[in-house]
């Protein structure tokens, strides 16, 4: 399975950045806190969080391509009067469901990532282990119903005679959870002060080209990996043509699962 295209994602990930900024506003860090950005991607938001005075930020991602882009973007440019230690967060490559930290962070932040991790019980246990006693989890990810219209159309196309042979043995890779199950998993993992909600957050694109580029790079990249290069454009053309006929057109039916919880004090 191919890695992300870090440069392209950095350029087109404005929807994720907007969601992430709203989630980051709930962090409210205090001076001296250590914060983990779990699934930092190309570091667009990690660098913004790191500018908050008096905190230490670690960006973590499983994708080497994402981290390479993040480190490139956060280098201090020649002639800048900002010191490297002020703005540049630290970055580490690791699995979010097997974090290499124990009681290390006052807060763990995550945006648009948890749905890429299939085992949420293991994920929440890992997050709890990495938090200090009383540490908080502030996160948002795709929730129940996320992109149902897009993925429904994609499944129909995958099952068509033209494409079905390329998807033999296909298994879904996203895990879009609901509120009740998430609350139960957080309690089992050892969290309290749990607050979980599901909200609609549709994203509309200005042009078919912008829609197609985003969907191909983010939503359907694993699907396209299964196709010959010569078949990918036709596949995306069909998906985009259907989206053009929606009302409003070129709109992705995103649903976001907001998560807030605190590690129970020993």
Looking at the predicted structure, is the pLDDT value of residue 88 above 80? no
What are the sequence ranges of the domains in the chain? 6-146+173-203+254-263
Q: Confirm if 168 and 226 have CB atoms less than 8 A apart.
A: no
Confidence of residue 93 (pLDDT cuts 50, 70, 90): very high
Whole-number percent of the chain with pLDDT over 90: 89
What is the pLDDT averaged over residues 86-108?
A: 91
According to the model, what pLDDT value does residue 85 have?
42
Q: Considering only 50-54, 91-95, 106-110, which range has the smallest mean pLDDT?
A: 50-54
Q: Please, which pLDDT band fits residue 1 given cuts at 50, 70 and 90?
A: low
Q: What is the mean pLDDT of the chain?
A: 93
Task: Identify the residue whose tokens are 């609609």.
Answer: 200
Residue 75: pLDDT band (50, 70, 90) is: low
Which residues partner with 57 through β-bridges?
35
Q: Which CATH architecture has domain 6-146+173-203+254-263?
A: 3-Layer(aba) Sandwich (3.40)
pLDDT, tens digit (0-9, with 9 covering 90-100), for 192-250: 999 999 999 999 999 999 999 999 999 999 999 999 999 999 999 999 999 999 999 99
Question: For the segment 155-177, what is each residue's pLDDT rounded down to a tens digit?
Answer: 999 999 999 999 999 998 899 99
Residue pLDDT, tens place only, 176-193:
999 999 999 999 999 999
Report the sign of the C-alpha dihedral through residues 149, 151, 152, 154, in that order: positive
């Amino acid at each position: 399975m191919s890695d992300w295209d870090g440069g392209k994602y950095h350029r087109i990930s404005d929807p994720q950045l907007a969601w992430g900024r709203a989630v980051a506003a709930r962090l409210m860090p205090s001076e001296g806190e250590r914060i983990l950005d779990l699934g930092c991607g190309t570091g667009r938001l990690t660098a913004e969080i790191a500018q908050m005075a008096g905190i230490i930020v670690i960006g973590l991602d499983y994708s080497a391509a994402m981290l390479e882009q993040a480190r490139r973007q956060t280098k201090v440019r020649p002639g800048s009067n900002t010191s490297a230690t002020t703005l540049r967060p630290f970055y580490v490559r690791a699995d979010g469901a097997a974090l290499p930290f124990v009681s290390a962070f006052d807060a763990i932040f995550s945006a648009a990532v948890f749905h890429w991790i299939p085992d949420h019980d293991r994920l929440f246990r890992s997050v709890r282990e990495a938090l200090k006693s009383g540490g908080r989890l502030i996160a948002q990810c795709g929730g129940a119903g996320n992109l149902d219209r897009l993925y429904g159309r994609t499944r129909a196309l995958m099952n068509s005679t033209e494409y079905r042979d390329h998807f033999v043995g296909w298994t879904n890779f996203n895990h879009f959870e609901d509120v009740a199950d998430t609350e139960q998993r957080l309690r089992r993992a050892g969290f309290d002060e749990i607050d979980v909600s599901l909200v609609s957050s549709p994203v509309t694109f200005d042009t078919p080209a912008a829609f197609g580029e985003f969907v191909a790079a983010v939503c359907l990249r694993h699907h396209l990996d299964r196709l010959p290069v010569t078949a990918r454009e036709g596949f995306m053309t069909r998906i985009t043509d259907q989206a053009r006929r929606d009302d409003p057109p070129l709109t992705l039916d995103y649903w976001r699962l907001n998560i807030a919880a605190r590690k129970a004090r020993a």
